[in-house]
Amino acid sequence: MITKYAAEEKDDDGVPNGNFFMNEASARAAATEVVGTHNGLSGGALKAYVKEYFPRTWAHFDVNAAGMIGVEVMPQLVRMFASDQYMML
C-alpha cells in the first residue's frame, strides 16, 4: 500500500517526515484493485461497484473532508468497501 499508492508528508523544509497518507484518488485505485482481485469483479461490474460503494466508504473515513486519510486506516476502508470484515490484508 505504501510503496504503490501512498504519498509521504513533508515538513516545512520539504523533508519527508515518515507520515504516509492516501488521497481519494489513490485510495480509490487501491480499493478497486483489492476488490477486483478479492471479489473477482472486473470490467463493467467492477466499475459499477466502485461507483456505487466507494463514495460513501470514503466519506465514512474522511469525516473532516480533509481529502486524505492516513495509510494505516486503509485496511479498514478496504474491508468496509469490499463488505468483508474478515479479509486479510
Ranges of residues in the chain with a pLDDT under 70 are 89
Q: What is the pLDDT of residue 85?
A: 74
Q: What is the pLDDT of residue 89?
A: 64
Q: How far is the C-alpha of 13 from the C-alpha of 56, rounded, in Å?
A: 36
**pTM (2 decimals)?**
0.89
Cα dihedral 87, 80, 31, 68 sign: negative
Q: How far is the C-alpha of 79 from the C-alpha of 89, rounded, in Å?
A: 9
* Short-list 9, 66, 57, 52, CA closest to 30: 57
Name every residue whose Cβ is closer than 8 Å to that of residue 35 and which is 6 or more positions away in sequence: 41, 46, 49, 50, 78, 81, 82
Q: What is the pLDDT of residue 86?
A: 75
